Structure formats: structure tokens, C-alpha cells
Structure 1
Amino acid sequence: MTHEGRPDVGRLGVWTDQFDGQPLSAVKDAAAEIEELGYSTLWLSEVTGREALTQATLLLGATSRLVVATGVATIYGRDAVTMAQAERTLAEAFPGRFVLGLGNSHPYLVEQIRGHSFGPRVATMRGYLDAMDAAPFGPTVPGASANRVLGVVGRQMLGLAAQRAWGALPFGMPVAHTARAREILGPEPLLAVGQPVVLESDPDLARQTAHAHVAASLPNRDRALAELGYGEDVSAGGSDRLADAMIASGGLEAVTRRVAEQFKAGADHVCLYVLVPEGRPRIPLEGWRELAAALR
């Protein structure tokens, strides 16, 4: 979806945390191939691997057309002034090619890994955005702040995204959540949806891979999933029903169907996260190639 004056994130992108721990040369080559395959946007995670804005800079430099987005950079990783400086610098250096995705992260990562205190999500993000907008430093780039998105799933955070950002990036949620997110956001804001997929042909291994991802995802999504009718599934630590709702599994036909459902529910952009079973190549190049051929 094209918004005048903003990066063209297109309809399909790639979301990945799989560059962490890989040689930078391989990461740059993978980003270049993602661009050549026809994906419009590459979304980069930030957990315990590379710092998101540095990696975004390197991959913007390794490509020529690809939009690179943080999906998401944690607000606890940099103070608001530093984040604003980085946002303005990248907007100046790569016009129309950088999207700053921001998120609150998770209490464990914030407190146990970073050593900060995790604050109330809405109030903390609102205060951070206020401080970014007021930051006096960094190059003056008209409209740079207009390209922000918030990585959110809850109702109040979606409402904040509608008020204070270009839009939202809900990740790994059922299609019903996309419809709810569109209702909360309204018709204009960008709704970019992160969709995990499993392309493994072995049904047992595919199910195992899906359940492992669901279990790791629940702490940040349990309330929103319960509101969608998955309370018992969450209490059980995940179920086949919940895994099927959160993850497109079963081959290219299943993924194609799920992507179509996400668009029908109101998504403007779907970024695909190819889940990789243990012991398989960490960077899922073959999966990205198969999906590009099937979905173009």
C-alpha cells in the first residue's frame, strides 16, 4: 500500500530474526536476494543479536530499492533523543527506504537483560514518543517521524498507534486479530501484519516447530488472545487450535490462503516469518524463494 510521501512498503515483506549469529557477509547477501526476489520490505528484529539501527544501516547500504524496517527496535535500548537522532539520520541518508518500528519489548528482556524497570506500556510509549518529537538534536528531515510504526497487539496500544504513528505492526496473531486491529486503527493507518509460516513437509516436525514458536510467543499475547476466544488454549500453554490460528502451516497452498485471509481482514502489508526447524539452515533462503514464486 502506498501512502503519499512515505516509504512504499508494498504488499509483501520478510520479517526475520535469523540474521543473528550469522556472518555479516551472508546477511548482506541474503538482504540483496530478498530485494531481487521482489519483496518490498525487510523487517529486522531486535532482541539479543545485532543492534537494530546499525544492522538496518548496513542492509540499506547493501541494497538499492528495498525498504528496511525495524520490527521492532525496543524503546528501552536507546533514550528517546538518541532514537530520534538515528531516525532522522537514516531518513536523510536513505530517503523513502527506512521505517522505524518501535516496541515496548518484554519485562524479562527489559529488566533481566537490560537492567531497566519495565513501565506501563501505553504511558511509557506515549512519553517516549513525546520525547522523540521534542528532541533538539539530529539532522532536520521533514516528515521523518511520520514513518514510524508501533509493534503492538493490545487494544490501547493499537489506539495509540492510530493517534501517534503511521500505523501498527501486530505480529503472530490470528486473522481475527487483524480484523479487530483494522477496526481500532480506522481505514487510513498502515496495518502491517507479521505472519509466521512453516513450510516443513513432515507434519510432525511442522507441528513441533509451530508449537515451539507459540509457546515462546504467549507471554506478550496472552490477554489479546484470550479476548479473541483462545483463553483456554493459552492457559494450556498452547494447543493445536491456537497453533493453527497463529501460524500458517502445511505448505505453500496453506500460506497463500492465510496471506489472502490477512488482506481480506484488513491488512495492508504482510511480512512473512519462515520458522526453521532445529538443525536446518538458519537463514531460510529456500523458503523465501518458494514463497516469492508462489505469492508474486
Structure 2
Amino acid sequence: MNGERLDLGRVGVWTNHLDTFPIAVALQAAVELEDLGCPALWLTETTGREALTQASIVLGATRRMTVATGVATIYGRDPVTMAQAQRTLAEAHPGRFLLGLGVSHPWFVEEVRGQVFGKRVPSMRSYLDRMDTASFGPPDGGKEAPRVIGAVGPRMLALAAERTDGAFPFCVPVEHTRRTRELMGPDAFLAVEQAVVLTSDRERARALARSYIAASLPNRGPVLADLGYRLELDGPAGDRLVEALVVWGGLAEIEARAQEHLAAGADHVCLYVIGAPSDRPPLPEWRALAPLFG
């Protein structure tokens, strides 16, 4: 968008954990994550806090770390409001906010928000058109603020390369990263999410992974099938899918998977801890992962 390749560091964090705790606890966790050396924190938007408000609060509590939305749904704000918010955060925190946009899921859009879920790629293209022509926002800042699209399928990835700084695929194997880099070309920014389970217990890791994958399959099925995976979670085919989408073990295993994504063309890998206890932020897990940050 602005002619400069985004640099978020090689390994950061994606999380939905902060939404479940009081804001003071969430901010304390974000500050410690920054102190651990994490270069970028990706925040979700599902049933918890509104993404841009939470990003603003976290940016205000931290000093160096990039805060990204991973992702803010286009059905949550009209495109003019999204542009205003992005430009305001870019002006207030230069170089530290990245807007990740996504189309969300039909159920969230129609059942929760009471809107009509449109065709994915045309809806995103129209939304970007209206963002780009919005004349509102800070008078001097933010017009070229960076943005990426949460994209998995080839048409949405192509749109991301054409109209934004790049893409943020979620719940995908290394083969997808390699194919995405080939499709988007060498100049687009590519961040990928990688789910991790910090345990040596194989059965526990696989049970957690299956639950995580089951929630993601509806939007990933065609892409995974095209990559040669069978869309089932039991038996050898299920084991293969689990091993491809979730890495478990210790630091060495997680570092190896992150390096595979980077070698396949990713610029940035954000690690998503699954299986952490629900009564606390995943700070012990983030501390264990800290040697990979940066």
C-alpha cells in the first residue's frame, strides 16, 4: 500500500485469551508479553471485545509492540468508520498498528449480527473500494496505514496481494504457505497463524488439536482438500491433518515448524497457544515461547 514491506518480526503471538479476563488483567498480560520481546500481538474479534477498541487500549498500555487485528470483521463497522478508526490509530501510534480485515463466518454475520452474509470476495472488494474513497479521519495521518486480509482461498489471497499489504491465513499447513507465496508473488507481506500445544502428552495434544481443527474446518475444507488432506479427524487421515495444522511438544518442535513456514515464504508466524488453563492468561506458555520471539 505504501511501497514499504511490513516488518513485524519473524515470530509473534495470536490470541483470543485476553477477551475472557477483566481489561486490567488483559493489559498486564500484554505488557508482560511485550517485555518478553514479542514484536507483534494479534487480537481476534468474535464474541469478546470489539477489535479496534481493544487494540487502542493495548497500544496505549505498551510502547514498542505492534498490535494487529486478526481479524476485524467487515460486518462490524461500515467501511467509512473502519477507515476512520484505522487512520486514527495509525496517527496516534505511528508504525504500531496493523489492520487485519476479514469476512467472518455466516453464522456470526446472520445469526449474531442480523445482517446478510454476501459473497466473500466481491464483498471484501467493495468494502476496500469504499474504505479507499472515505474522506474522513485525521487530516494529516493514516491515509496509507497498512492493512492485510484474513485470507485462505486463492481468490481472496489474490485480492489481498492486489489491494492490501498482504494476507493473514489462519489454521493452514506449511504447504498452504508455500502455495500462497507463489500465488501472491515476492512482494506481498505474508503472516501465518500456527497453533501450538506445549505438552509432551501425545494424546492430550491430539485431543486439543482435534477440537481446534473441528471449529475451523467449515471455512478451510475446500482448501485443505485441494492440498490433499482428507477432511476427517479420526484414524490415520485425521492424525495426518492434526500433525499438519497443530504442532505439539517443546520449544524445539515449535521452532522447527515456525522455520518451515518461514522457509516456505512466510514473513511472520504468530503462535496461538491452545490448551492453556482457562482461569489465567497463557503467560507461562508465552514465557516458554519467548526465545522464539523477534
TM-based fold match above 0.5: yes
1:216-258 deviations in whole A, cap 9, x for unaligned? 110111111111011343799x811101100111222211110
The 1:286–1:49 alpha-carbon spacing in structure 2 relative to 1, beyond 3 Å, is same
**Structure 1 gaps, min length 5:** none
Letter in 2 for 1:55: Q
Q: What is the aligned residue count?
A: 292
Mapped partners of 2:234, 2:88: distance in 1:
44
The alpha carbon displacement at 1:188 in A equals: 0.6
The alpha carbon displacement at 1:20 in A equals: 1.2
Letter in 1 for 2:282: P
Q: Secondary structure at the match of 1:77?
A: coil
Mapped partners of 2:220, 2:233: distance in 1:
9
Q: Residues 55-94 of structure 1 correspond to what in structure 2 (within 5 A)?
A: 55-94=54-93
1:123-158 deviations in whole A, cap 9, x for unaligned? 000000000011121113456444000000000000
Does the 8 A contact of 2:12 with 2:293 survive in 1? no
Q: Residues 155-170 of structure 1 correspond to what in structure 2 (within 5 A)?
A: 155-170=154-169
Mapped partners of 2:80, 2:287: distance in 1:
39
Q: Residues 136-285 of structure 1 correspond to what in structure 2 (within 5 A)?
A: 136-141=135-140, 144-233=143-232, 239-277=238-276, 279-285=277-283
What's the counterpart of residue 100 of structure 1? 99
What's the counterpart of residue 290 of structure 2? 292
The alpha carbon displacement at 1:34 in A equals: 1.2
1:170-196 deviations in whole A, cap 9, x for unaligned? 011000000011011100110001111
Q: Secondary structure at the match of 1:270?
A: strand
RCO higher in structure (CA 8 A, sep ≥6): 2
Does the 8 A contact of 2:88 with 2:141 survive in 1? no
Mapped partners of 1:68, 1:292: distance in 2:
17
Does the 8 A contact of 1:65 with 1:97 survive in 2? yes
What's the counterpart of residue 41 of structure 2? 42
Mapped partners of 2:117, 2:233: distance in 1:
23
The 1:149–1:203 alpha-carbon spacing in structure 2 relative to 1, beyond 3 Å, is same
What's the counterpart of residue 119 of structure 2? 120
Mapped partners of 1:34, 1:259: distance in 2:
19
Does the 8 A contact of 1:91 with 1:141 survive in 2? no
Letter in 2 for 1:215: A
Letter in 2 for 1:259: A
Between 202-211 and 133-142, the greater mean CA deviation after superposition: 133-142
The 1:225–1:190 alpha-carbon spacing in structure 2 relative to 1, beyond 3 Å, is same
Letter in 1 for 2:97: F
Q: Secondary structure at the match of 2:199?
A: coil
What's the counterpart of residue 28 of structure 2? 29
Q: Secondary structure at the match of 1:230?
A: coil
Mapped partners of 1:141, 1:202: distance in 2:
54
Mapped partners of 1:281, 1:7: distance in 2:
35
The alpha carbon displacement at 1:293 in A equals: 2.4
Mapped partners of 1:137, 1:235: distance in 2:
52
Mapped partners of 2:293, 2:80: distance in 1:
40
Does the 8 A contact of 1:13 with 1:39 survive in 2? yes
Does the 8 A contact of 1:80 with 1:132 survive in 2? yes
- Identity of counterpart residues, as a percentage? 56
Does the 8 A contact of 1:276 with 1:284 survive in 2? no
